[in-house]
Amino acid sequence: MIETVGVVGAGTMGIGIAQIAAQNEHQVIVYDHSEAQLEKAKSGLEKVLNRLVEKERITDSEREKIRNRMVFTPKMSELWPCGLVIEAIVESIEIKHQVFQSLEDIVSEHCILATNTSSLSIASIGASLKIADRIIGIHFFNPAPLMPLVEIIPSIQTAEQTTTVCKNLISHWGKTVVLCKDTPGFIVNRVARPFYGEALRIYEEGIADFTTIDWALTEIGGFRMGPFTLMDYIGNDVNFAVTESVFKAFFYDPRFKPSFTQKRYAEAGYFGRKSGRGYYNYDDIKLNPKPLTDKALGEKILNRILSLLINEAVDAVFMGVATVKDVDLAMTKGVNYPKGLLKWGDEIGLDKILKQLQELFDYYGEDRYRPNPLLRQMVQENKQFYEN
C-alpha cells in the first residue's frame, strides 16, 4: 500500500499529478527546486480547487482535505516517507540522472521511482539508480487531472512487481492504463505521427490547403480537431520538437521524417494559438480561408492519412509495443480519436488499407508508405484484429 506520493517538479504536469494523488487520498509531497515555482503551483492549484467547488465537483470540506494532504517544499530531503515518487522536471537526461541519484539517497529501498518523461528512454533514466528495478515510466497527458489516459512503461530493468503496483494504483485513481514497451514516443506519440506528418505532406504537395485538410478529417473522418487546428493548439514549436525527437530516436526512419513547412512555421514564431498566428490567424479569424468542400477530395485526403495511421498502429502491435486493445485505447483516450485505429481498420477492411498503402508506395517509391508485414499477413490469412 502506497500512502505517500512524492512529486518532483511543480510545473504543468507535476502539479496536475499531485492534484490527482491528493484527490485519491494520498499524502502528497511536492518538491521543486524553485520556491517561486512552488508558490505559482500552489496558487494555481488553489484556483483549480475553487473552480471544482464552484462547479460542485467537490465540496468545501473535500477541498480542505485535499489541501491538508499536500505539502510543498524546496527541500528534496522531505521526500523520505514516499512509497512512490513521480518525477516531472525538465526534459533533460543529465538533469534527470542527477535528480534520481539524489532521490535514491533519500527514499527507502522500497520506494518506486517513476518518470513522466515524454521522450527519454526509461532504461537510460533507470541506469542512474543503484536499485534499477524500481524505475518505471508513468506518462500522464496534459492536463493530467482531465485526460483519462496514462501510459505505463516498464523498462528492461523494471521488476514485475513495480509494474503491477503502478498499474493497480493508477487504475485505482480512475485512469485508463495502457502498458507500453520502452520505445520512442511510447504509444500515442508514435502512432499519431502521420496525423500531422501526412497532413503536412498533402499540403506541401499542393493537393489541398490547411483548412480543406482539416475539414476532411473532422467532417468526413469524425476527428474532433483537424491536424492543422490541433498543431496550432499544441504549438508548432512543441509539435515539431516531438516529431524531430521521435525521428532521431527511430534512427531516422523516413516514416517519421519531420516537415519543412512545420519547421519554418516554428522558426517564424507562428506557433499557433499561443502566438496569435499559426497555420491560421487567431487575431483576425475573418482572414482564414473557407475549405473546399469537395467530397471526393476530402475522402482521398482522409483515406491517405487514415491508412498511414492504421499502418502505424499495426506496427506498434507487430513490434510488441502494446496489445491491440491498448493501442486502440491509447488513441481514443489519449488523443480523442473517434475510433480505435485497429478497429477502424477492421471496419474499413484491412485489404483496402493495404491496397491504399501499396498504391502510395508504388507511386512515391518512399519507405514512409511501406505496408507493415503484419498487415500483409492478416490480409493474406483473411484475419481481423477483433472478432465480430
Ligand X SMILES: NC(=O)c1ccc[n+]([C@@H]2O[C@H](COP(=O)([O-])OP(=O)(O)OC[C@H]3O[C@@H](n4cnc5c(N)ncnc54)[C@H](O)[C@@H]3O)[C@@H](O)[C@H]2O)c1
Tell me the catalytic residues: 118, 139, 151, 189
**In Å, how far from its chain's centre is CA 366?**
27
The yes or no reply on residue 117 touching ligand X (CB under 6 A) is yes
The yes or no reply on residue 73 touching ligand X (CB under 6 A) is no
Q: Are strands 149-153 and 135-140 parallel, antiparallel or unpaired?
A: antiparallel
Judge contact between 53 and 60, C-beta under 8 A: yes
The yes or no reply on residue 99 touching ligand X (CB under 6 A) is yes
- φ and ψ at residue 80, rounded to 5 degrees: -55, -35
The correct pick among 4, 23, 116, 158 for binding ligand X (CB under 6 A) is 116
Residue indicated by cell numbers 503484419: 374
State in angstroms the smallest separation of the CB of 133 from ligand X: 21
The correct pick among 4, 6, 7, 8 for binding ligand X (CB under 6 A) is 8
The correct pick among 25, 34, 264, 347 for binding ligand X (CB under 6 A) is 34
The yes or no reply on residue 163 touching ligand X (CB under 6 A) is no
Comparison of 9 and 154: residue with beta carbon closer to ligand X? 9
Alpha-carbon distance values, 223 to 75, 230, 338 (Å):
45, 10, 6
Comparison of 258 and 371: residue with beta carbon closer to ligand X? 258
Judge contact between 26 and 5, C-beta under 8 A: yes
Bridge-partner residues for 277, per DSSP? 272, 281
The yes or no reply on residue 377 touching ligand X (CB under 6 A) is no
The correct pick among 43, 68, 101, 142 for binding ligand X (CB under 6 A) is 142
The correct pick among 33, 42, 65, 376 for binding ligand X (CB under 6 A) is 33
The yes or no reply on residue 10 touching ligand X (CB under 6 A) is yes
Comparison of 12 and 384: residue with beta carbon closer to ligand X? 12
Judge contact between 153 and 122, C-beta under 8 A: yes
The span of 46-54, 83-91, 155-163, 311-319 binding ligand X (CB under 6 A) equals 83-91
State in angstroms the smallest separation of the CB of 62 from ligand X: 25
Q: Which three cell numbers stand for residue 328?
A: 486502440
Q: Label residue 283 exposed, middle or buried (CB < 10 Å: 0-12, 13-18, 19+).
A: exposed
Give the whole-angstrom CA distance, residue 263 versus residue 246: 15
Give the whole-angstrom CA distance, residue 150 versus residue 378: 29
Judge contact between 353 and 345, C-beta under 8 A: yes
The span of 134-142, 219-227, 306-314, 320-328 binding ligand X (CB under 6 A) equals 134-142
Which residue type does 240 have? F
Comparison of 189 and 212: residue with beta carbon closer to ligand X? 189
Comparison of 32 and 326: residue with beta carbon closer to ligand X? 32
Comparison of 16 and 154: residue with beta carbon closer to ligand X? 16
The yes or no reply on residue 287 touching ligand X (CB under 6 A) is no
Question: 27: helix, coil or strand?
Answer: strand
Closest CB to ligand X: residue number: 11
The yes or no reply on residue 90 touching ligand X (CB under 6 A) is yes
Give the whole-angstrom CA distance, residue 245 versus residue 240: 9
The yes or no reply on residue 154 touching ligand X (CB under 6 A) is no
Give the whole-angstrom CA distance, residue 60 versus residue 196: 43
Q: Which residues bind ligand X (CB under 6 A)?
A: 8-14, 32-34, 37, 88-91, 95, 99, 116-118, 140-142
